[in-house]
Amino acid sequence: MRSARSRLLTGKNGNKPPEKLPRSHLINFNRMHSYSAM
């Protein structure tokens, strides 16, 4: 599951540079990760 998510992230990053990604997206990802970990 982790590798699959990492692959998806890589694809998204490839389409759009991480520098251009909004901070809200990063926060959302962190929140999702925390929820998944819990």
DSSP 3-state of 16: coil
Render pLDDT for 12-26 as a digit per residue (tens, 0 to 9). 555 555 566 566 666
pTM over 0.95: no
In Å, the largest CA–CA distance within the chain is: 30
Tokens of 24: 């809200």
Domain that residue 13 falls in: 2-37
The region, left, alpha or beta by phi > 0 then psi within -120 to 50, assigned to residue 22 is beta
Residues 6 or more apart whose CB falls under 8 angstroms from that of 9 comprise 29
pLDDT at residue 33 greater than cutoff 70:
no
Count of domains observed in the chain: 1
